[in-house]
């Protein structure tokens, strides 16, 4: 614990924690995407999967316990990721009080420049998304226990479907810079691995983008009903 705190106090350590939590969240995103795709197997399989998430670990864990444990882990990871990002951003703001007359823009990609605002958009989206499909608070016709129906109904609105697609684009960009950056921060990259890792990060970002938007696009085009 003392070490973690000492690590947290240094800028390099904060970044390492951001990288580690980022990779953890990335792992979650991959499994979430794969879970989503089960919607294409039809209502029964999809509901069975939702049920599986609640009953997994039984009888070691009571119904829903493991799911909540995972949720708590994710919430902690998000908090560490966001708090470190905010603190580091403030540090960077302070580090250059006067800006350049001619802006200096070397090497930055669109993805790397939009990490901060992209992150803000994603954080807002996660809150909306949980209220939409988990609690149903902002879902017009939410039926508890009917995940399939909720997905179909939820994406009937064109605005909702489009905003999901746009945010998944933001997620893709965030991951493209984030995956490579996390590995660099943890000291896992080197110049020989640089290109392959960037290519892999780009491919992963595209696959995740497509995997996620497949559902709203399918609902919208009537493939899923």
Asked if 1 is part of the footprint of another protein (rule: CB under 8 A), the reply reads no
User: By rule CB under 8 A, what count of residues binds another protein?
Assistant: 42
Q: Residue 14 or 132: which CB sits closer to another protein? A: 14
Asked if 97 is part of the footprint of another protein (rule: CB under 8 A), the reply reads yes
**Which of 185, 208, 212, 215 is in the footprint of another protein by CB under 8 A?**
185
Q: Residue 63 or 113: which CB sits closer to another protein? A: 113
**Which of 159, 191, 195, 222 is in the footprint of another protein by CB under 8 A?**
191
**Which of 1, 59, 60, 106 is in the footprint of another protein by CB under 8 A?**
106
User: Judged by CB under 8 A, which stretch of 29-37, 102-110, 148-156, 167-175 contacts another protein?
Assistant: 102-110
Asked if 189 is part of the footprint of another protein (rule: CB under 8 A), the reply reads yes
Asked if 99 is part of the footprint of another protein (rule: CB under 8 A), the reply reads yes
**Which of 30, 66, 115, 217 is in the footprint of another protein by CB under 8 A?**
115
Q: Residue 44 or 192: which CB sits closer to another protein? A: 192
**What phi and psi values does residue 56 have, to the nearest 5 degrees?**
-60, 140
Q: Are 187 and 19 in contact (CB under 8 A)?
A: no
Q: Report the interface residues with another protein, using CB under 8 A.
A: 3, 6-7, 10-16, 88, 91-92, 94-108, 112-113, 115, 177, 180-181, 184-191
């Amino acid at each position: 614990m003392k070490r973690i705190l000492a690590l947290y106090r240094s800028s390099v350590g904060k970044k390492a924690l951001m990288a580690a939590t980022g990779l953890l969240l990335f792992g979650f995103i991959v499994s979430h995407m794969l879970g989503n795709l089960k919607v294409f197997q039809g209502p029964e399989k999809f509901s069975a999967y939702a049920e599986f998430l609640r009953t997994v670990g039984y009888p070691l864990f009571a119904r829903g316990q493991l799911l909540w444990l995972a949720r708590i882990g994710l919430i902690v990871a998000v908090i560490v990721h966001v708090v470190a990002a905010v603190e580091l951003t403030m540090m960077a703001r302070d580090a250059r009080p006067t800006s350049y007359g001619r802006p200096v823009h070397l090497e930055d990609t669109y993805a790397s420049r939009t990490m901060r605002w992209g992150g803000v958009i994603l954080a807002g989206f996660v809150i909306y998304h949980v209220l939409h499909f988990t609690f149903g608070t902002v879902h017009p016709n939410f039926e508890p226990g009917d995940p399939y129906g909720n997905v179909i109904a939820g994406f009937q609105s064109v605005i909702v479907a489009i905003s999901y697609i746009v945010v998944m684009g933001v997620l893709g960009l965030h991951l493209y810079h984030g995956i490579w950056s996390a590995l660099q921060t943890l000291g896992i990259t080197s110049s020989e691995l640089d290109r392959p890792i960037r290519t892999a990060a780009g491919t992963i970002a595209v696959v995740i983008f497509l995997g996620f938007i497949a559902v709203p696009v399918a609902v919208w085009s009537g493939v899923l009903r």
